[in-house]
Structure 1
């Protein structure tokens, strides 16, 4: 049989203290959650992005021995659309290739972007003499006939920024796009599908 409290028996003070502490902690958690939610909704933090701003084929050389050399200029822009938070970008590395033949790796030292600002990074990618198999050589010949060379740009960088009371937020920014560069040194702007995806 459960033991009942008599008329002169009271709850132990320790139990009252634990109950009061739990109640206070519950109220603080609720208030904290409301404050964070209001701050998040007010600031509306946005994930920083990287994208190809413009690109240009500077030179391309291809001979009868199926050797190819080229140089391309690629400008990658880092955007921070947050109005109050600095964004840091680091571990940036993108590979420029033609039909899986690596041309160059575009790297940058860690850098910061001020709130509501952007920064353009100018890369000049210059290949060594690249030996091509027959299929790749045929693809180059076709590209030269069409006056457009298609290059692949793949890789990632990381970003970190502080969202008020939420704390530091980190993302990986993946870039995987195709650049169709005219061989007459025409600059292309904002090539399609050349904006980062986050993970």
Structure 2
């Protein structure tokens, strides 16, 4: 008996899909190469955010165990890259005392030019803060020692444009203590920066 054979040609739809996938792959690879070459040419440094100055404007603490405070905090955003502008976005910091968040510092998206810095002045005013016994002991001790400490944590998402097809993204994070003297409301300078320590 003769054998029956059948031949099924490849569907034009499959050929079209394969061609489209190949084109997309080439575009993605080419775009990756462009971004990589641009990054190597620009070789951007990681941006830096840091607290440059601060002031304890107001501090009130009563025997009932309620604290009110107002601080001025100056944060510098620094772009050391000589060949590209830096865009800072999602900039949020949390200010806390003895683990209790008392205020948030937020800033809208902004751009820092090549080899430039930008300063943001934050006026942080808290609502009346009820203190638990541990916090009451801490603030009593702080006033006796004439040093009160707040914690500042947060950061910003940054990116550089690398050519027309992409950007390089970084995250800048702060986690530090801000110390003040209640007697004269002055700031005790200490390192507070996102720069990597060597």
User: Under a length normalisation based on structure 1, what TM-score does the superposition of the two structures give?
Assistant: 0.75
Residues 94-138 of structure 1 deviation map (CA, whole Å, 9 limit, x = unaligned)? 000001221210000100000000000000111111000111001
Q: Shift of the alpha carbon at 1:182?
A: 1.6
Which residue of 2 is the match for residue 120 of structure 1? 119
Which residue of 1 is the match for residue 78 of structure 2? 79
Is 2:193 the counterpart of 1:195? yes
Residues 53-109 of structure 1 deviation map (CA, whole Å, 9 limit, x = unaligned)? 111111100000000001111001000001120100010110000012212100001
User: Under a length normalisation based on structure 2, what TM-score does the superposition of the two structures give?
Assistant: 0.75
Which residue of 2 is the match for residue 186 of structure 1? 186
> Taking structure 1 as reference, are residues 54 and 188 closer, same or farther at Cα in structure 2, changes over 3 Å only?
farther
Which residue of 1 is the match for residue 109 of structure 2? 110
Which residue of 2 is the match for residue 22 of structure 1? none
Note if contact 2:42-2:84 (Cα within 8 Å) is conserved in structure 1: no
Which residue of 2 is the match for residue 36 of structure 1? 37
Residues 10-54 of structure 1 deviation map (CA, whole Å, 9 limit, x = unaligned)? xxxxxxxxxxxxxxx9xxx9xx79x928x72x5442011111111
Structure 1 segments unaligned to the other structure (5+ residues): 1-24
Equivalents in 2 of 1:48, 1:164: separation in Å?
Answer: 19
CA RMSD of aligned residues (A): 2.4
SS in structure 2 at match of 1:145: helix
SS in structure 2 at match of 1:137: helix
Equivalents in 2 of 1:162, 1:47: separation in Å?
Answer: 13
Residues 145-167 of structure 1 deviation map (CA, whole Å, 9 limit, x = unaligned)? 11111000011210011245894
Which residue of 2 is the match for residue 91 of structure 1? 90
Note if contact 2:56-2:186 (Cα within 8 Å) is conserved in structure 1: yes
Equivalents in 1 of 2:83, 2:57: separation in Å?
Answer: 39
Q: How many residues align?
A: 164
Note if contact 2:77-2:117 (Cα within 8 Å) is conserved in structure 1: yes
